[in-house]
Amino acid sequence: MADDQTPFEQACIAQGWDQPGKFVAAFEKTAEILGEPVTVTTRHVRRWMREIPPPTPRARPWRVIHAMFGVDQPASVS
């Protein structure tokens, strides 16, 4: 694990999503399972991985991301 990785990037790598394209593929699959009509681009993922603090996703992508990492959603996002 490199010292310059953000916590989000570290979490993605731990899940096997070491490239933005892999994250997007997993995101799309999860969104389909959840029935969320939402997409993200590799640009979104690169920003989330590299910016400190990362931009906060909107509610629909946020729900998908929470599902991908297996964490409960905050009540304010539901």
**Residue position matching structure tokens 């681009």:** 41
Taking the C-alpha atoms of residue 67 and residue 2, their distance in angstroms, rounded to an integer, is 26
- What's the domain range around 32? 7-69
Number of structural domains in the chain: 1
Taking the C-alpha atoms of residue 51 and residue 73, their distance in angstroms, rounded to an integer, is 22
pLDDT at 9: 95
pLDDT band at 35 (very low <50, low <70, confident <90, very high): very high
Q: Is residue 78 part of a domain?
A: no
**Residue position matching structure tokens 């993200």:** 40
pTM greater than 0.75: yes
HSE at residue 2, side-chain half, CA atoms within 13 A, is 9
Instruction: Note the maximum CA span of the chain.
Output: 37
